[in-house]
Amino acid sequence: MPSKTKAPTSQFVCSECGYTAPKWLGKCPDCGNFNTMQEELVRPAEQAPTRTGVSPMKAKAVPLSKIGYEKFDRVKSGIGEFDTVLGGGIVRGSLVLLGGDPGIGKSTLLTQVSAHLAQTCKVLYVSAEESCSQVKMRCERLGLSSDNLLLLNETCLEDIETELVDGQFVVVDSVQAIYTEALSSAAGSVGQVRECAARLMRIAKSRNITFFIIGHVTKEGSLAGPKVLEHIMDTVLYFEGQQEDNFRLLRAVKNRFGSAQEVGVFEMTDTGIQSVSDYSALFLSDTRGVAAGSAVTPSESGNRCMSVEIQTLIAKTAYGMPRRMSLGVDYNKLVVLIAVLEKRCGIPFYNSDVYINAMGGIKLSEPSVDLAICAALASAASDIPIDKYTAIFGEVGLTGELRPVNYADKRVNECIKTGFKRVILPAKNMKACKKYEDKIELIPVQYVTQLIKALHLRPQQP
């Protein structure tokens, strides 16, 4: 822990109104907000930009055509999907933030990447959370060993800085566990996290060191200190998935060196994290087409389209209010779609408990999954399974009409690749998908009621 007795090099600034105080205050005396005072470094006066006089460092405006740029030097990480998400490899001298829930596999992923990089260059793994022997144990479990991979168990940023070598790769595990002596607040506080990240950024750019920084996601779902780090980083990746399921999605949220739409699919095995290239089959079950209540939708996630199965279960309400439970699908969306089915198609759900789950722990947030949810619910209500070779997508409005969705042709193409024989889609998307007509049967629908007919479902009173 940093000591509390030192020269006042920091001040506390209110994040709401900018009021400054030499000591921490629970309530800002100026704007009256609670818990907004955050510690910041007081920079020496000569570093502050001045408007008077011309400083010798003054930058000059340059015509666009005169500006040259360097091609990014990219290094392969050894994990295909990781490279894809980064935009084709690791850019030297960049700052990559890897965020995710605790226990999701961030340390495992970066240990593997470090071990691969250590085959050709020096890598430093700064483990501020676990002891060196714990990291070594993980490496043994993963079957990794290298003399080029150095471990450092240190939490003080100033001490870490002395161990850095120009041009190397450094993993910082995690940014919430390290602190700088310049600030008196505890490690993990907004001020510390922001100051440490800013310091690492300056080191990265001046010494061409590539940093991978691990950040834990807080309860609210953002990286510690609400998004305080994202603007400093070159690339921000989120590692997602459910702990019980083995599948993990790596999502680029920001990438200065590539597309921020990329998604990587991984599987957590007992020998570490592996890229999954045939990801479509992951989110489909074997009981598809046999059991009632499941429907498949091509879902667009990042730059890829994946076929995902939605399963529903309808049970008679034993007493009181009917229950609605959703996993991987927005709860409100489920409630709205149940209401649409009740009102527009006459399927009663008022005395049934409804459970819904998107397979493989994936989160479906697109509006295009609406129609597949309706199909799965109607199939469960009629106790008739939906044909195994049918995929469904489309957005459902409150009046029961179908709205067109984006990337319709990409979705149909994915269905063809995954081996589906027919796709039920909004009529308004037909034009874009006409080109696939000879490869797959396209069934356009305008209203939800037509979907029930197209699937030959006969919803009955539960």
Q: Which residues contact 275 (CB under 8 A, 6 or more apart)?
A: 79, 80, 81, 82, 264, 265, 266
307 binds, among Mg ion, ligand TYD, none (CB under 5 to 8 A by kind): none
Q: Cα–Cα distance between 6 and 286 in angstroms, integer?
A: 65
In this chain, which residue has its C-beta nearest to ligand TYD?
107
- Closest approach of Mg ion to the CB of residue 107, in Å: 3
Q: Which of residues 141, 205, 231, 323 is near ligand TYD by CB under 6 A?
A: 141
Residue 107 touches ligand TYD, criterion: CB under 6 A = yes
Task: Report the C-alpha gap between 110 and 179 in whole angstroms.
Answer: 21
Q: Which is nearer to ligand TYD, 105 or 400 (CB)?
A: 105
- The residue behind tokens 């999701």 is 104
Tell me which DSSP letter residue 305 carries: E
User: Quick one: which of 270, 278, 286, 438 contacts ligand TYD (CB under 6 A)?
Assistant: 270
Q: Is 272 in the site for ligand TYD (CB under 6 A)?
A: yes
Q: Is 361 in the site for ligand TYD (CB under 6 A)?
A: no
Nearer Cβ to ligand TYD (272/385): 272
Q: Does 429 contact ligand TYD by CB under 6 A?
A: no
Buried b (16+ CB within 10 A) or exposed e, 72-86: bebbbbbbebbbbbb
Bond preceding residue 174 cis, omega within 30 of 0: yes
Please say which residue, 36 or 111, places its beta carbon nearer to Mg ion.
111
Pick what 142 binds: Mg ion, ligand TYD, none; C-beta below 5 to 8 Å, kind-dependent: ligand TYD
Q: Does 385 bind ligand TYD (CB under 6 A)?
A: no
By CB under 6 A, is residue 142 in contact with ligand TYD? yes
Please identify, using beta-carbon distances, which residue of 271 and 365 lies nearer to ligand TYD. Answer: 271
Q: Is 146 or 261 the residue whose CB approaches ligand TYD more closely? A: 146
Neighbours of 381 (CB within 10 A): 26
Taking the alpha carbons of 381, 382, 387, 392 in that order, is the dihedral positive or negative?
Answer: negative
Interface mask (CB under 6 A) for ligand TYD, residues 212-251, using x and -?
----------------------------------------
* Partner whose binding site includes residue 270, from ligand TYD, Mg ion, none (CB under 5 to 8 Å by kind): ligand TYD
In the complex, least distance from residue 266 CB atom to ligand TYD, rounded to whole angstroms: 11
- Residue 102 vs 419, nearer CB to ligand TYD: 102
CA distance 193 to 225: 8
Distance of CA 290 to the CA centre of its chain: 33
Structure tokens at 427: 């009529």
As measured in angstroms, the least distance from the Cβ of 112 to ligand TYD is 9
- How many residues contact ligand TYD, by CB under 6 A? 15
Taking the complex as a whole, the smallest distance from the CB of residue 246 to ligand TYD amounts, in Å, to 8
Q: Which residues pair with 125 in a beta bridge?
A: 151, 171
Residue of 44, 56, 68, 103 that binds ligand TYD (CB under 6 A):
103
Please, what is the minimum distance in Å from the beta carbon of residue 216 to Mg ion? 8
- How many whole angstroms separate alpha carbon 123 and alpha carbon 135? 14
Q: What is the DSSP string of 102-168?
A: TTSSHHHHHHHHHHHHTTTS-EEEEESSS-HHHHHHHHHHTT---SSEEEE---BHHHHHHH--TT-
Q: Counting contacts by CB under 6 A, is residue 138 touching ligand TYD?
A: yes
**What's the DSSP call for residue 436?**
G
Residues that bind ligand TYD (CB under 6 A): 100, 102-108, 138, 141-142, 268, 270-272
